[in-house]
């Protein structure tokens, strides 16, 4: 009876972790890009087309699978009520993923329970769960592949899950490849079901892109590469890497180029990993998979100047796994080790993420969303266009057709970038004459000021400082401690 009760500890931990993290829904901290995916899902609902602006096909979202999941949630719960159920769904899936991971690396049910909860309240885990991105589903699928495919040897998992993983994000080919090579070197044999699943995943994803959108890779990848690509010397590449990596290997991104806390955590993660793999344990097989993937994914994306936080969430979690295993399995002074870890790292990280979520949620939901809400009430003709950046909150809540600076949701602007990268913004304004412009710059200043003064007038100014007040003094202090958002000027065409 006691043994059965103990075996249920991990399940109880999953439930407790999900319930605890749902408190963060109160912060309304939702990532801008989530609203791009959700608008694509609603465009599919309204027009029967995977796009962003009416019946024009475009892969504006980085994830196909999550678009379809979001579509189903919109269909079931309605456009006004689907967000909270979807975020809860993401949280549950991610936490079940940590349950699978605990089964792979730990034996003691009590250790598994602690592992699930402690890893679940780390900053990247909270963000994966409640920011609305596709990584909750992705983490679940990846850990399910390791658990059912490579631990249980289920052929259906080896064949079917790589397809879903690739259909979630194309860059998951890194994860699938690392897992393949570790398995090959460890077992000295090829799992042909996995090979077939990987090939099927690649072919189905690229075929879907080609036959539906007429492109091999997602438009988001093409657009970012086109606008952000710069030519660096080898020395500049190395310098860029050295000043950037310290902010992404750990879980705390601080202002500035270098984060010394990350270096300490990175060294401790390496030491714990080396300590664990020196032991003759079956789990080393999975430790090699997740640790190598964490390193390769981080190195690959930082080297490509990919500085968006969400690319690093899953690697950050997986690289920290050896630390938790090391602490939980200490035979002597385990309580001391665990207390030190919680008091000096996990609790401060949780406190930081709480403050960050409250402040950023205010800047996004209470501030940026109001721009979209204002436009939604002001402009009744939803066929009017707005040129802005980014393409998340404002287009979603305004309902207007959108041209974004990067070209994620509109391909025509990419042609302007190709023709004249320096002047593509003003050239787009002149050729397409959008009714609204939303800019964080004063367009009445600079070389094109005369054109804007003649053809556009300021409709409304939006300022971050106007949204740093609250009836709750603690919240107000947090808002002012970490102001979040950008000042905007909204212009309307006058001719």
pLDDT tens string 31-62:
999 999 999 999 999 999 999 999 999 999 99
Q: Cβ(91)–Cβ(97) under 8 Å?
A: no
Residue where the block lists tokens 């456009």: 79
Measured distance between the N- and C-terminal CA atoms of the chain, rounded to whole angstroms: 79
pLDDT above 60 for 1: no
Q: What is the pLDDT of residue 255?
A: 66
Compute the average pLDDT of residues 317-339.
94
**Residue 182: alpha-carbon gap to chain centroid:** 26
Query: Which residue is it, tokens 């979202």?
Result: 61
Confidence at 16, pLDDT banded by 50, 70, 90: very high
423-461 tens-digit pLDDT: 999 999 999 999 999 999 999 998 899 999 999 999 999
For residue 114, count CB atoms less than 10 angstroms from its CB and return exposed for 0-12, middle for 13-18, buried for 19 or more.
buried
pLDDT tens track for 107-120:
999 999 999 999 99
Residue 189 DSSP label? S
Summary mean pLDDT of the chain:
93
* SS3 sequence of 414-425: HHHHHHCCCCHH
Query: Reduced to 3 states, what is the DSSP secondary structure of residue 58?
Result: coil
* Bridge partner list, 388: 404
More confidently predicted of 494 and 7: 494
Kindly list the distances between the CA atom of residue 334 and the CA atoms of 122, 317, 328, 407, in Å, as whole numbers in the listed order.
20, 22, 7, 53
Reduced to 3 states (helix: H, G, I; strand: E, B; else coil), residue 386 is: strand
Residue 171 per-residue DSSP state: G
Three-state secondary-structure class, residue 432: helix
Find residue 386's DSSP bridge partners: 402, 436
- Is the model more confident about 256 or about 418? 418
pLDDT of residue 236: 75
User: In the prediction, which pLDDT does 460 show?
Assistant: 96
Q: What is the pLDDT of residues 140-179, one digit of tens each?
A: 999 999 999 999 999 999 999 999 999 999 999 999 999 9
Q: What is the pLDDT of residue 256?
A: 67
Own/partner long-range contacts of 419-422 (Cβ < 8 Å, ≥24 apart)? 421/227
CA atoms within 13 A on the CB side of 354: 13
pLDDT more than 90, % of the chain: 81
3-state secondary structure of 267: helix
Selection from 151, 148, 203 nearest residue 173 by Cα:
203
Q: How far apart are CA 196 and CA 363, in angstroms?
A: 46
- The CA distance from 444 to 314, in Å, is 43
The average pLDDT across 462-466 equals 94
Q: Give me the pLDDT at residue 264, please.
A: 87
When pLDDT is averaged across residues 264-288 and rounded to a whole number, the result is: 94
pLDDT, tens only, 312-326: 999 999 999 999 999
């Amino acid at each position: 009876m006691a043994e059965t009760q103990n075996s249920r500890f991990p399940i109880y931990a999953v439930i407790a972790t999900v319930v605890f993290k749902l408190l963060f829904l109160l912060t309304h901290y939702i990532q801008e890009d989530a609203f791009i995916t959700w608008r694509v899902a609603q465009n599919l609902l309204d027009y029967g087309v995977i796009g962003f602006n009416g019946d024009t096909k475009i892969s504006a979202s980085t994830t196909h699978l999550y678009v379809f999941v979001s579509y189903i949630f919109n269909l079931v719960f309605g456009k006004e009520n689907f967000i909270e159920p979807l975020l809860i769904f993401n949280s549950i899936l991610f936490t079940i993923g940590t349950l699978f991971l605990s089964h792979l690396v730990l034996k003691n049910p009590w250790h598994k329970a602690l592992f699930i909860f402690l890893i679940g309240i780390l900053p990247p885990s909270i963000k994966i769960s409640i920011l609305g991105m596709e990584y909750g589903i992705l983490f679940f699928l990846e850990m399910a592949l390791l658990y059912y495919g490579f631990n249980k040897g289920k052929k259906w998992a080896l064949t079917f899950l790589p397809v879903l993983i690739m259909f979630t994000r194309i860059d998951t080919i890194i994860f699938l490849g690392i897992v393949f090579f570790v398995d090959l070197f460890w077992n000295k044999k090829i799992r042909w079901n996995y090979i077939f699943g990987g090939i099927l995943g690649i072919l189905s994803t690229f075929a879907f892109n080609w036959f539906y959108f007429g492109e091999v890779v997602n438009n988001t990848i093409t657009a970012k590469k086109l606008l952000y690509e710069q030519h660096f010397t080898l020395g500049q590449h190395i310098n860029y890497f050295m000043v950037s990596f310290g902010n992404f290997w750990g879980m705390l991104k601080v202002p500035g180029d270098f984060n010394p806390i990350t270096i300490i955590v990175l060294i401790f993660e390496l030491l714990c990993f080396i300590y664990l793999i020196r032991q003759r344990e079956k789990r080393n097989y999975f430790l090699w998979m997740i640790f190598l993937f964490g390193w390769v994914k981080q190195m690959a994306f930082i080297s490509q100047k990919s500085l968006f936080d969400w690319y690093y969430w899953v690697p950050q979690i997986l690289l920290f796994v050896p630390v938790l295993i090391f602490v939980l399995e200490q035979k002597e002074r385990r309580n001391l080790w665990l207390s030190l870890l919680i008091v000096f790292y996990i609790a401060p990280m949780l406190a930081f993420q709480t403050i960050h979520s409250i402040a950023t949620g205010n800047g996004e939901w209470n501030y940026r969303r109001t721009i979209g809400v204002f436009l939604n009430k002001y402009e009744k003709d939803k066929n009017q266009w707005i040129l802005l950046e980014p393409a998340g909150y404002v287009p979603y809540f305004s309902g207007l057709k959108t041209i974004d600076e990067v070209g994620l949701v509109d391909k025509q602007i990419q042609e302007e970038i190709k023709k004249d990268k320096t002047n593509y913004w003003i050239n787009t304004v002149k050729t397409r004459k959008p009714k609204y412009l939303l800019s964080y710059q004063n367009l009445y200043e600079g070389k094109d000021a005369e054109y804007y003064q003649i053809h556009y007038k300021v409709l409304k100014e939006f300022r971050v400082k106007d949204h740093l007040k609250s009836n709750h003094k603690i919240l107000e202090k947090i808002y002012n401690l970490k102001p979040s958002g950008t000042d905007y000027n909204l212009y309307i065409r006058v001719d």
